[in-house]
Structure 1
Amino acid sequence: MSALPFDPSFLKLSPYVNAASKALLGVSPTDFRYETGVTPLSTWPIVIAGTIGYLASVFGGQYLMKNREAMRLDKLFLVHNIILVVLSGGLLWLYLEELVPMLWTKGLYYAMCDASAYTQNMEFVYYVNYIIKWVEFVDTWFLVAKKKKLEFLHVYHHALTMVLCHAELEGRVVMSWIVITLNLFVHVIMYTYYALTALKIHPWWKQYVTTLQITQFVIDLGFCYSNTWTHFAFNYFPHLPNYGACSATDFAAIFGCGLLSTYLYLFVEFFQKTYAKYKSGKKTSKAGGDASNGKAEGKKTK
Structure 2
Amino acid sequence: MNVSHEVNQLFQPYNFELSKDMRPFFEEYWATSFPIALIYLLLIAVGQNYMKERKGFNLQGPLIFWSFCLAIFSILGAVRMWGIMGTVLLTGGLKQTVCFINFVDNSTVKFWSWVFLLSKVIELVQRVVPTLAGMPTMTLHLPGDTAFIILRKRPLIFIHWYHHSTVLVYTSFGYKNKVPAGGWFVTMNLGVHAIMYTYYTLKAANVKPPKMLPMLITSLQILQMFVGAIVSILTYIWRQDQGCHTTMEHLFWSFILYMTYFILFAHFFRQTYIRPKVKAKTKSQ
TM-score (norm 2): 0.81
Tell me the residue number matched to 1:137. Answer: 124
| Separation (CA, whole Å) in 2 of partners of 1:249 and 1:105 | 25
Matched, 1:182 2:188: yes
Measure how far apart 1:276 and its partner are. Answer: 2.3
Tell me the residue number matched to 2:144. Answer: none
Of the three residues 32, 37, 62, the one matched with 1:51 is: 37
Superposition RMSD on alpha carbons, in Å?
2.5
Task: Supply the AA of the counterpart residue of 1:209.
Answer: I
| Separation (CA, whole Å) in 2 of partners of 1:264 and 1:211 | 10
Of the three residues 223, 227, 243, the one matched with 1:219 is: 227
Residue range with higher mean Cα deviation, 243-252 or 189-198: 243-252
SS of alignment partner, residue 14 of structure 2: helix
| Separation (CA, whole Å) in 2 of partners of 1:105 and 1:207 | 34
Measure how far apart 1:211 and its partner are. Answer: 1.1
Q: Is the 8 A contact 1:140 1:155 kept in 2?
A: no
Cα distance change of structure 1 residues 41 and 265 upon mapping to structure 2, 3 Å threshold: farther
Measure how far apart 1:151 and its partner are. Answer: 2.9
Measure how far apart 1:33 and its partner are. Answer: 5.8
Gaps of 5+ in 1: 22-26, 235-242, 288-302
Tell me the residue number matched to 2:111. Answer: 124
Q: Is the 8 A contact 1:157 1:263 kept in 2?
A: yes
| Separation (CA, whole Å) in 1 of partners of 2:270 and 2:234 | 27
Cα distance change of structure 1 residues 282 and 138 upon mapping to structure 2, 3 Å threshold: farther
Alignment of 1:58-207 (within 5 A): 58-121=44-107, 122-141=109-128, 142-143=130-131, 145-146=134-135, 147-148=148-149, 149=154, 150-203=156-209, 204-205=211-212, 206-207=214-215
| Separation (CA, whole Å) in 2 of partners of 1:261 and 1:157 | 12
| Separation (CA, whole Å) in 2 of partners of 1:194 and 1:215 | 20
Tell me the residue number matched to 2:247. Answer: 249
Measure how far apart 1:143 and its partner are. Answer: 4.5
Cα distance change of structure 1 residues 214 and 244 upon mapping to structure 2, 3 Å threshold: farther
Task: Supply the AA of the counterpart residue of 1:70.
Answer: G
Q: Is the 8 A contact 2:47 2:131 kept in 1?
A: no
SS of alignment partner, residue 118 of structure 1: helix
Cα distance change of structure 1 residues 80 and 40 upon mapping to structure 2, 3 Å threshold: farther
Q: Is the 8 A contact 2:104 2:110 kept in 1?
A: yes
Tell me the residue number matched to 2:216. Answer: 208
Measure how far apart 1:265 and its partner are. Answer: 0.8
Q: Percent identity between the aligned chains? A: 24
Measure how far apart 1:154 and its partner are. Answer: 1.7
Tell me the residue number matched to 2:140. Answer: none
SS of alignment partner, residue 75 of structure 2: helix
Tell me the residue number matched to 2:138. Answer: none
Measure how far apart 1:132 and its partner are. Answer: 0.3
Measure how far apart 1:49 and its partner are. Answer: 0.8
| Separation (CA, whole Å) in 2 of partners of 1:130 and 1:66 | 33
Tell me the residue number matched to 2:23. Answer: 34
Task: Supply the AA of the counterpart residue of 1:152.
Answer: F
Q: How many residues align?
A: 259
SS of alignment partner, residue 136 of structure 1: helix
